[in-house]
Structure 1
Amino acid sequence: MSDYRYHVGGTLTSNAPSYVERRADRDLYAALKQGEFCYVLNSRQMGKSSLLVRTKSRLEQEGFRCTTIDMTNIGSEQVTPTQWYKGIVAELWAGFGLMEAFSLKAWWQQEEEVSLLQRLNRFILELLNRLPNDRLFIFIDEIDSILSLDFSVDDFFALIRYCYNQRAIYPIYQRITFAIFGAATPSDLIQDRSRTPFNIGQAIQLEGFQLHESQPLAAGLKLHEGDPLEVLKAILHWTGGQPFLTQKLCQLVVQISRERGTEALKIPPGAISFWVENLVQTHIIHQWEAQDEPEHLRTIRDRLLRNEQRAGKILGIYQQILKHYPIEADDSREHIELLLSGLVVKQGDRLQVKNPIYRAVFHREWVEKQLAALRPYSQSLEAWLAADRQDESRLLRGQALKDAQHWSQGKSLSAIDYQFLAASQEFDRQEMERTLEAARAKEMAGRLASEQRRLKQQKQTNTVLSLLLVGVTLKFGFFLWLWLSTVSQYRKAVANEVQAITQTAEIASASSPTLDTLMTLLWAEQRLQELSNTGNADPNLQQQVDAAFQKIVSSIAESDRTENTSSVLNGVSPDKQRLDSVDEAGAVKLWQLDGEAASQLEQTLAGHRDAVSAIAFSPDGQTLASASNDGTVKLWTIADGLVQTLESGGDRIDDVAFSPDGQILAALSEDRTITLWRHQENSFSLDRTLRGNNALAD
Structure 2
Amino acid sequence: MGKSSLMFETARRLQQRGTTSIIIDLSDIGVTDATAENWYRGVAIEIETKLEEQGQALTTDVYEWWETHSPLTITQRFTRFFRDVLLQELEGQLVVFIDEIDTTLNLGFTDDFFIAIRALYTTRAQSTSYERLSFVLIGVATPANLILDTRRTPFNIGHRVDLTDFTAAEAWPLATGLGVNEADQSKVFDRILDWTGGHPYLTQQLCIELSRQPRDHWNSADVDGVVHRAFFGDRSDRDHNLQFVRDWLIDPKKCPGRYQVLATYREIWRARQPVMDEDQSLIKAHLKLSGVVKRVGSRLEVRNSIYREVFDRRWIRNHWPETWWDQLKPAVPVIAAVGAVAVVMGGLAWFANGQRLEALAAREDADTQAKLAEERAEEAENQRSLAEAAATEAREAEELAEERLEDSRRAERQAELARQAEAEQRQQAELARQAEADQRQRAEAGESEAQEQTRIAIAEQQRAEEQTDIAQKQARIAQLREQAARVLNLLPTASAVPGVILAIDTMDRSWSEPAVNTTAQASLLKAMQVSQEVNRLQGHESDVESVAISADGTRIVSGGADGTVRLWDANSGAPLSEPIQGH
TM-score (norm 2): 0.54
Q: Deviations over 1:439-491 (max 9, x none)?
A: xxxxxxxxxxxxxxxxxxxxxxxxxxxxxxxxxxxxxxxxxxxxxxxxxxxxx
1:77 touches 1:148 (CA, 8 Å); kept in 2?
A: no
Structure 2 counterpart of 1:361, from 310, 316, 319: 310
Q: Structure 1 residues 327, 540: CA separation in 2 closer, same or farther (over 3 Å shift)?
A: same
Number of aligned residue pairs: give it: 347
Letter in 2 for 1:354: R
1:252 offset after TM fit, Å? 0.6
1:95 corresponds in structure 2 to 50
How many angstroms apart in 2 are the aligned matches of 1:355 and 1:203? 24
Aligned pairs for 1:114-125 within 5 A: 114-125=72-83
1:625 corresponds in structure 2 to none
Letter in 2 for 1:326: P
Aligned pairs for 1:617-636 within 5 A: none
Q: Deviations over 1:144-176 (max 9, x none)?
A: 111233x31111101111111111111111111
How many angstroms apart in 2 are the aligned matches of 1:334 and 1:190? 18
Structure 1 counterpart of 2:246, from 296, 301, 305: 301
How many angstroms apart in 1 are the aligned matches of 2:31 and 2:3? 20
Q: Structure 1 residues 294, 281: CA separation in 2 closer, same or farther (over 3 Å shift)?
A: closer
How many angstroms apart in 1 are the aligned matches of 2:360 and 2:33? 77
1:266 corresponds in structure 2 to 216
Q: Structure 1 residues 402, 132: CA separation in 2 closer, same or farther (over 3 Å shift)?
A: same
1:225 touches 1:267 (CA, 8 Å); kept in 2?
A: no
Q: Structure 1 residues 298, 374: CA separation in 2 closer, same or farther (over 3 Å shift)?
A: farther
Aligned pairs for 1:604-643 within 5 A: none
Q: Deviations over 1:341-387 (max 9, x none)?
A: 2111122222110001111111112212322x634658xxxxxxxxx
1:66 touches 1:139 (CA, 8 Å); kept in 2?
A: yes
2:277 corresponds in structure 1 to 329
1:137 corresponds in structure 2 to 95
2:293 corresponds in structure 1 to 344
Structure 1 counterpart of 2:27, from 72, 90, 100: 72
Q: Deviations over 1:497-550 (max 9, x none)?
A: xxxxxxxxxxxxxxxxxxxxxxxxxxxxxxxxxxxxxx99895499889x9xxx
Letter in 2 for 1:188: N
1:190 touches 1:197 (CA, 8 Å); kept in 2?
A: yes
1:291 offset after TM fit, Å? 5.4
2:236 touches 2:310 (CA, 8 Å); kept in 1?
A: no
Determine helix, strand or coil for the equivalent of 1:66: strand
Q: Structure 1 residues 126, 229: CA separation in 2 closer, same or farther (over 3 Å shift)?
A: farther
1:275 offset after TM fit, Å? 2.5
1:254 corresponds in structure 2 to 211
How many angstroms apart in 2 are the aligned matches of 1:309 and 1:173? 38
1:81 offset after TM fit, Å? 1.3
Determine helix, strand or coil for the equivalent of 1:202: coil
How many angstroms apart in 1 are the aligned matches of 2:200 and 2:358? 94
1:110 aligns with 2:74: no
Letter in 1 for 2:41: K
Q: Structure 1 residues 279, 113: CA separation in 2 closer, same or farther (over 3 Å shift)?
A: same
Q: Deviations over 1:290-323 (max 9, x none)?
A: 4554422233223211128722222111111121
1:212 offset after TM fit, Å? 1.0
Q: Structure 1 residues 72, 537: CA separation in 2 closer, same or farther (over 3 Å shift)?
A: closer
1:527 corresponds in structure 2 to none
1:128 touches 1:175 (CA, 8 Å); kept in 2?
A: no
Q: Structure 1 residues 252, 130: CA separation in 2 closer, same or farther (over 3 Å shift)?
A: same
CA RMSD, 1 decimal: 3.6
Aligned pairs for 1:498-517 within 5 A: none
How many angstroms apart in 1 are the aligned matches of 2:248 and 2:206? 23
Determine helix, strand or coil for the equivalent of 1:346: strand
2:197 touches 2:303 (CA, 8 Å); kept in 1?
A: yes
Q: Deviations over 1:90-122 (max 9, x none)?
A: 122233345352222332232122111111111
Letter in 2 for 1:329: D
Structure 1 counterpart of 2:155, from 198, 203, 213: 198
1:188 corresponds in structure 2 to 145
Structure 2 counterpart of 1:283, from 212, 221, 230: 230
1:225 touches 1:266 (CA, 8 Å); kept in 2?
A: no
2:513 corresponds in structure 1 to none
Unaligned stretches of 5+ in structure 2? 333-356, 370-583
Determine helix, strand or coil for the equivalent of 2:4: helix
1:55 corresponds in structure 2 to 10
How many angstroms apart in 2 are the aligned matches of 1:92 and 1:537? 90
Higher relative contact order (CA 8 A, sep 6+): 1
How many angstroms apart in 2 are the aligned matches of 1:148 and 1:543? 61
How many angstroms apart in 1 are the aligned matches of 2:263 and 2:113? 36
How many angstroms apart in 2 are the aligned matches of 1:100 and 1:192? 35
2:543 corresponds in structure 1 to none
Letter in 2 for 1:277: D
1:319 corresponds in structure 2 to 266
How many angstroms apart in 1 are the aligned matches of 2:225 and 2:307? 16
1:70 offset after TM fit, Å? 0.6
Structure 1 counterpart of 2:183, from 218, 226, 230: 226
1:83 aligns with 2:33: no
Aligned pairs for 1:280-679 within 5 A: 280-285=227-232, 287=233, 289-290=234-235, 292-307=237-252, 310-324=257-271, 325-330=273-278, 331-371=280-320, 374-375=322-323, 540=362
How many angstroms apart in 1 are the aligned matches of 2:66 and 2:300? 49
How many angstroms apart in 2 are the aligned matches of 1:225 and 1:206? 31
Letter in 1 for 2:281: S
1:128 touches 1:172 (CA, 8 Å); kept in 2?
A: no
Among all aligned residue pairs of Structure 1 and Structure 2, give the percentage whose two residues are the same amino acid.
Answer: 34
1:267 touches 1:275 (CA, 8 Å); kept in 2?
A: no
Q: Deviations over 1:594-619 (max 9, x none)?
A: xxxxxxxxxxxxxxxxxxxxxxxxxx
How many angstroms apart in 2 are the aligned matches of 1:355 and 1:247? 14
How many angstroms apart in 2 are the aligned matches of 1:132 and 1:536? 100
1:401 offset after TM fit, Å? 12
How many angstroms apart in 1 are the aligned matches of 2:237 and 2:208? 14
How many angstroms apart in 1 are the aligned matches of 2:324 and 2:75? 48
1:242 offset after TM fit, Å? 1.3
Q: Structure 1 residues 402, 187: CA separation in 2 closer, same or farther (over 3 Å shift)?
A: farther
TM-score (norm 1): 0.45
1:327 touches 1:350 (CA, 8 Å); kept in 2?
A: yes
Unaligned stretches of 5+ in structure 1? 1-45, 258-264, 379-395, 404-534, 548-698
2:24 touches 2:96 (CA, 8 Å); kept in 1?
A: yes
